[in-house]
Amino acid sequence: MSAILSAEHVTRRFSPRITLGDRIAAALGAKVDRRPVQAVTDVSLEVRQGETLGLVGESGCGKSTLGRMLAGILAPSEGEVLLSGTAPMRGKHKTTTRIQTVFQDPFASLNPRMRIGETIAEGPITHGLVTRARAPEMVAEWLRRVGLDPAFATRFPHQFSGGQRQRVAIARALAMQPEVLVCDEPVASLDVSIQAQILNLFLELRQDLGLTCLFISHDLSVVRHVSDRVAVMYLGRIVEMGEAARVYAAPRHPYTQGLLHSVPKLVLDSNAALEFRPITGELPSPLSPPPGCAFHPRCPKATELCRGERPPLSPREDGTLVACHHA
């Protein structure tokens, strides 16, 4: 499968905003840390035609920042984002219709004063994908495809439940006929039963439409459900990337192993017990990443080598990429 969207050595730094709290602290003589935060460091990956790449990691690991760079919403500080058939995109490229996004909070991403029929039709009309005359038919078709009654086109966002609003957000994104869909925590704000419905809808649409997708989630079980390949992020870098079935069956990186053991799992044997060994400690601040392997303060296998030298992301015999001295 060829790459349709890729990141080449992308890094993203954020300059901290000066808040009122900072001003007050400075006026009182306190030291305020003004260093830029590096959320993503030197990441390269590709999303291949027709696949779903899952991007997983703890909150604050940089996965949403990476997703926003790939979606063209944020410009990388260094490196390039490449969309097949176009020149490298060093800045924002949100003007393209070829990449569409679905975010965690559909209510925030829908205009509360716009009927959802108009919300779905607005982009395709603006970009010449449908005429005004054909728009109602197109809206009805997309509402049906995401499991909503076409009559709902006249309703406003506040008249829908969270799950229904996420269906609207998916319909709006797909009506733009994107080549790549970037989903950032699309089910994180929903109840578990609704999460399952939205994930099943996503799987159906993926199969019917042959979607290419970057699926970002902190939830390993969600990513496992939908992904062909998976990339695991820790403190702004990819630490393991490979076929999802392989990574879940035999994770190599101690962080991936820790994430999998952090999910409570019922063992259905005679001793029915919970196998639950969470990763200890907190994700370090990106302002002061640990030297060497950034995971070493939390890693049960850390050695002197780990504390002094950062392991490169390098291929193993089965094609999986792993950043660990001892895996």
Q: Position 237: which residue type?
A: R
Residue 85's Cβ-side half-sphere holds a number of Cα atoms within 13 Å equal to 6
Query: Least distance in Å: CB of 257 to ligand SF4?
Result: 9
Smallest distance from the beta carbon of 74 to ligand SF4, in angstroms? 28
Q: Which of 235, 261, 232 is nearest to 320 (CA)?
A: 232
If one asks whether residue 324 binds ligand SF4 (CB under 6 A), the answer comes out as yes
What letter represents residue 130's amino acid?
Answer: V
Spacing of C-alpha 294 from chain mean position: 21
> Would you say 159 or 280 has its CB closer to ligand SF4?
280
DSSP assigned state of 245: H
Is 155 strand, coil or helix? coil
Does position 326 bind ligand SF4 by CB under 6 A? yes
Q: Give the one residue of 135, 311, 313, 320 binding ligand SF4; rule: CB under 6 A.
A: 311
CB closer to ligand SF4 out of 202 and 295: 295
Output the six-digit token pair for 247.
Answer: 């990574």
Sign of CA pseudo-dihedral 103, 108, 109, 112: positive
CA distance 3 to 10: 16
Which token pair is 81?
């984002």
| Alpha-carbon span 193 to 197, nearest angstrom | 7
User: Do the Cβ atoms of 234 and 245 come closer than 8 Å?
Assistant: no
Nearer to ligand SF4, 121 or 232 (CB): 232
Minimum separation from the CB atom of position 278 to ligand SF4 (A): 16
Q: 225 or 253: whose CB is closer to ligand SF4?
A: 253
Q: Determine if 234 is a binding residue for ligand SF4 (CB under 6 A).
A: no
Minimum distance of ligand SF4 from residue 166's CB (angstroms): 35
Query: At its nearest, how many Å lie between ligand SF4 and the CB of residue 236?
Result: 15
Q: Enumerate residues 249-268 that contact ligand SF4 by CB under 6 A.
A: 253-254
Decide if residue 235 touches ligand SF4 (CB under 6 A): no
CB 241, min distance to ligand SF4, A: 15
Single out the residue of 296, 313, 320, 321 in contact with ligand SF4 (rule: CB under 6 A): 296
Backbone torsion region of residue 221, taken as left when φ is above 0, otherwise alpha when ψ lies between -120 and 50, otherwise beta: alpha
Supply the minimum distance, in Å, between the C-beta of residue 37 and ligand SF4: 22
First-to-last alpha carbon distance for the chain, in angstroms, is 27
**C-beta closer to ligand SF4: residue 140 or 294:** 294
Q: Which residues bind ligand SF4 (CB under 6 A)?
A: 253-254, 293, 295-296, 299, 301-302, 306, 311, 324-327
